[in-house]
Amino acid sequence: MFFMNKLKVQRVIIFKHGVSYFILTGKIKGNGTFELEFKIDEMNDVLKSLFVLDTSEKGFVSSISYDAALETSQLLKSIIIEVPDKDSLTSLLTQIKGARVKLILGNDVKEVKGTIMGIEFNEKLQNEMKLIEKLLVLLKDDDVIVKIPFTEISSFDILNDEIKNDLKFYLETIIAGKKKDSKNIIINCESGGDNNVEREIVASYIRESPIWKTSYRLIMSKQQDAREVALLSGWCMVENTTNQDWEDIDLTLVAGMPVSFVYDFYRPIFIDRPRVEPPKVLSAKPTDIEEGIANERFREYKMAEEMEEAAPPPAKARKAAFGGGAMRAMAPEPTAQMDDSALMDKVKSSTRATTKDLGELFEYNISNPVSIKRKKSALVPILTEEIKAKRILLYNKQEHVKNPNACLEITNNTNLKLERGPVTIVYDNNLAGEAIIPFMNKDDTRLLNYAIEQAVLIDTEQKTENKNIHKISFGGAYCYEYYYTNLTSIYKIKNKTDETKELYIDHPKKSGYDIIEKPIEPEETANYWRFKLTLKPKDAINFTIVEQRENYSSYYIWNWNKDDILKKVSFYIRKEFIDKKLETQLTDIADLIGRVNQLNQEKAKLETERNTLTSEQERLRENIAVLGSTTQEASLREKYVKKLTNQENRFEEIRTKIDELDKEIKQLNAQIEKKINDLKA
């Protein structure tokens, strides 16, 4: 006989990527089963990862069964029985007509066996009331047909095993369907013959779960401030979203990003197969048989052996870190009554955890047993360490224009990696503020901004100045004149407090600029120059930074005339930007450009004259066209024709001269281009 048992959660390993690894154990004697219940959405992860082991010498797990993923209506299609909510017995007997049954009748426990033929309804009067009596029509084993009233039947047994199993399956499916979002997994265990030996069954699987979250408390007293240390307490929030209580379990928290995915493993997958019709063979008929030919011998083509590729080494995952997490109020009164050493010992005594660096992962093993009721959450302490911490001010104009941030500069001098999480900062028994601790490897240093320091005022001024040209260069028919642009940033800082303050100024990096004047050497971050300075009490200072970038102006030499070039040459010689050779080259270019400009002016005059002649010729031709045949008109026509002839001659002279000028200009431009390309400075 099988008994349904429950496995107890022994260990839970919670990861940062949305799954948890569960290890459960249970005790059993003889043959039996264990039942696990999951949500439908969890079945994919559970089935792909479920591992069950009987740790005894002879016992074994014979099979693991689970509820199908089909809907209740689909599951019940495979059976003939359907039991309605009303008239259940009548409906059942009607559906199993032809089944053999064993009836127990009346109080005298009379037994009748036979085959169900059907049900009849008999109307009768009782106390002037019409009643309907139900009668079971039965073919007895001795072939006698009898009618048995339902009221006489105290019980009956279905002797057909198939129908009996269908009925049991129907009822089990109906009750399972009431839990629409849950499915059961049944682990069937066999004793192997040792029925009196208690065996331990171990099961493990992964399932989707909320990630564990970290938070910190950072407590600093005035004495710790002087020593530049603080007490860091880390907490973790763990949520039990399962349907089973966790009682005194071993809890492990793992940070990192192992590969994980959801695989559609639970629901049945059906593949469309091609449908092939059976051949329809007709009777044989006579055919013409072709004459045979000799078969040529062909060598079989064989594939060349494939080269065995060396398996690539597994990619090494990026290292990750752990963290702590959950909220717990830090009351100022108790801490005020304890010195730093006593507080450290007291808090650390409640934090019992061991850590392990797994390369790609980092885990926290909680030493104390953890109990969490189902659908509840818990806070678990995972870290208590004294770390390096220093109070500073950090000014960044892009965040706050007038005031710096109050920050703690912490260094992870512990043997642990710190996971990202919120931190509550308590200073001298008062809430100082809140911040976010980023991911921190060992020995990393980070700044945590937790408040605004309104008693330190900062104003900024900037001014830009373009310096004189300091060099020139030539290239691609361009002249480049280089000059410096200086950007002066002035931080006007006023410390209104009675304390000495350490101020960090994050000065933005600017593309192309180099710092040429600075009161102190800065540290460098990805986007800022960080200057660290000390502010005296009630003091006001100017902190000036000068940055410089080289700019240039470009000029297209072809756009210069002779005078422009000669002026530039004179300036460049005076500033010693060019030597005598370059001066000669530029002067020659100036002369050639001057000659080209002169020729272009001559050409322009000739083209103007030609355009004027063209207009006059059009007017003369119009006048000639309207003249008649009189003597006076004939004399005037002769005058116009003579003038047109002279203009045509002048047209020819202008065309010839323009062609000569174009040729000379082209030659000069070629010389200029060659000389410009030879310029080097």
pLDDT score recorded for residue 636: 83
Q: Find the mean pLDDT for residues 108-125.
A: 82
**309-323, 327-341, 376-390: which range is least confident on average?**
309-323
* For residues 327-332, average pLDDT: 34
Pairing relation of β-strands 4-6 and 32-39? parallel
CATH topology (fold) of 560-677: Four Helix Bundle (Hemerythrin (Met), subunit A) (1.20.120)
Contact 17, 211 (CB under 8 A): yes
Of residues 441 and 494, the one with the higher pLDDT is: 494
Lowest mean pLDDT among 80-89, 114-123, 284-293, 430-439: 284-293
Query: What is the band of 301 on the pLDDT scale with cuts at 50, 70, 90?
Result: very low
Where exactly are the structural domains of the chain? 1-90+162-209, 97-159, 213-247+319-452, 457-556, 560-677
| Separation of alpha carbons 654 and 306, rounded Å | 84
Question: What is the reported pLDDT for 456?
Answer: 95
What local confidence, expressed as pLDDT, does residue 184 receive?
A: 84
pLDDT for res 297? 45
Q: How confident is the model at residue 338 (pLDDT cuts 50, 70, 90)?
A: low
Q: So what's the pLDDT on residue 174?
A: 65
The closest alpha carbon to 36, from 194, 218, 183, belongs to 183
Rg of the chain over Cα atoms, rounded to whole angstroms, equals 51
Confidence of residue 270 (pLDDT cuts 50, 70, 90): low
Pairing of strands 246-255, 8-14: parallel
Continuous segment of H or E residues that includes residue 22: strand 19-29
Q: What is the pLDDT of residues 406-453, one digit of tens each?
A: 999 999 998 888 888 999 999 998 999 999 999 888 899 999 999 999
Given the structure tokens 């401030």, which residue do they identify?
Answer: 225
Phi, psi of 435 (to 5 degrees): -155, 180
In 3D, which of 481, 452, 455 has the Cα closest to residue 560? 481
- List, for residues 221-239, the tens digit of each pLDDT value: 999 999 999 999 989 899 9
* Euclidean distance between CA atoms 640 and 628, whole angstroms: 14
pLDDT tens, 626-644?
777 787 888 888 888 888 8
> What average pLDDT score do residues 73-88 get?
65
Give the least confident one: 24-38, 72-86, 402-416, 581-595: 72-86
**Cβ neighbours of residue 555 closer than 8 Å, sequence gap 6 or more:** 478, 479, 480, 481
pLDDT of amino acid 551: 95
In this predicted model, what pLDDT tens digit does every residue of 524-555 receive, in sequence order?
Answer: 999 999 999 999 999 999 999 999 999 999 99
Which is higher by pLDDT, 193 or 487? 487
Q: Give the per-residue pLDDT at 152.
A: 80
Kindly give the pairing relationship between strand 4-6 and strand 514-517: unpaired
CB atoms within 10 A of CB 363: 19
Phi/psi for 153 (5° steps) reads -85, 115
Give the count of beta carbons closer than 10 Å to the beta carbon of residue 69. 16
- At residue 102 the predicted structure's pLDDT band, cuts being 50, 70 and 90, is confident
**Max CA-CA distance within the chain?**
166
Helix axes 631-677, 580-626, angle to 10 degrees: 160
Please state which of the ranges 35-39, 483-487, 671-675 shows the lowest mean pLDDT. 35-39
pLDDT at residue number 514: 95
Question: Burial code of 124-151, b = ≥16 C-beta within 10 A, e = fewer?
Answer: eeeeeeeeeebbbbbeeeeeeeeebeee
pLDDT of 257 reads 66
Q: Per-residue confidence at 195, pLDDT binned at 50, 70, 90?
A: confident
Average pLDDT of the chain, as a whole number:
81
User: What class, spelled out in words, does domain 97-159 have in CATH?
Assistant: mainly beta
pLDDT tens digit sequence for 31-75: 989 988 888 788 888 888 999 999 988 899 998 888 765 555 555
What are the DSSP calls for 329-392, one per residue? Answer: ---HHHHHTS-HHHHHHHHHHT--EEEEE-SS-EEEEEEEEEEE-TTEEEEEEEEEEEEEEEEE
What mean pLDDT do residues 320-348 have? 44
Residue written as token pair 């063209």: 614
